[in-house]
Amino acid sequence: MGHKLDCNVVQDLLPSYIEGLTSDLTTSAIEEHLSSCSNCKKELATMTNEVQPVDKATEKQINFLKKIKRRQWIIASISVLVAITIFAGVVSYISQRQFPVPSSQVTISDVYQMKDGSIHYRISTSVKGYLGNVTATNDGNSDIFRLYEHRRFSPGQSASSVALPERWVNLRNPGSTGDITAIFYEGRGKGDRIVIWEKGMTLPQASAEQEAAYEQNVVSKR
């Protein structure tokens, strides 16, 4: 600048000077004025002190926002982990979601007796999911057959028929003190049973063709 600045002009320029927005020429003129003017020096000090708390407040706000963002990130991470855990639990539940097939959904057919005393029968069923586990247990004197189905969550699922392989039960029970005296299909507990055969029941005798199939499928593999 070609002349010295008066106090009014300098004080008007101080905000820009503090923020470093003045040109080199204007900055030199302001600093020259400040070197000899105590009033403007005080004004500069006052303005500088007023700006500093704003800067500190801004820094506190930034730190606060960082803490919030960090907390949000932690919450989001925990939410993702919880969602994954729930999803894994649902998948596990669905994969193990087995229900006993009730006797009302089961049909017993082709019950006859072989010449060695073994009992032959077939089981078919109707399930809305798909057939899962099939078990045959022996409680000492009874042979108990059970079916379990996996059920789907989707509504309106049509039922499908399933025919299981034919089965022969040897009434001689080498693992027990007595022979088998009854064969049951058991659905939802002992109160939901079908008697397939029990001691004293008269059954049709197997035909020659049925004896041949028994010989081929069972006796020859013992």
Identity of residue 202: T
In whole numbers, what is the pLDDT of the chain averaged over residues? 85
Q: Name the pLDDT band for 82 (thresholds 50, 70, 90).
A: very high
Q: Name the pLDDT band for 1 (thresholds 50, 70, 90).
A: very low
At 51 the pLDDT is 56
108-125 pLDDT, tens digit each: 999 999 999 999 999 999
Q: Where are the beta strands (DSSP E) in 117-157?
A: 119-127, 130-138, 142-150
Q: Name the pLDDT band for 20 (thresholds 50, 70, 90).
A: confident
Q: Which of these, 100, 172, 109, lies nearest to 135 by C-alpha position?
A: 100
At 102 the pLDDT is 94
CA 45, 50, 56, 58 dihedral sign is: negative
Write the DSSP symbol of residue 20: T
% of the chain residues with pLDDT over 70: 86
At 216 the pLDDT is 92
92-106 pLDDT, tens digit each: 666 667 889 999 999
The predicted model gives 25-43 an average pLDDT of: 89
Of 38-42, 126-130, 171-175, least confident by mean pLDDT is 171-175
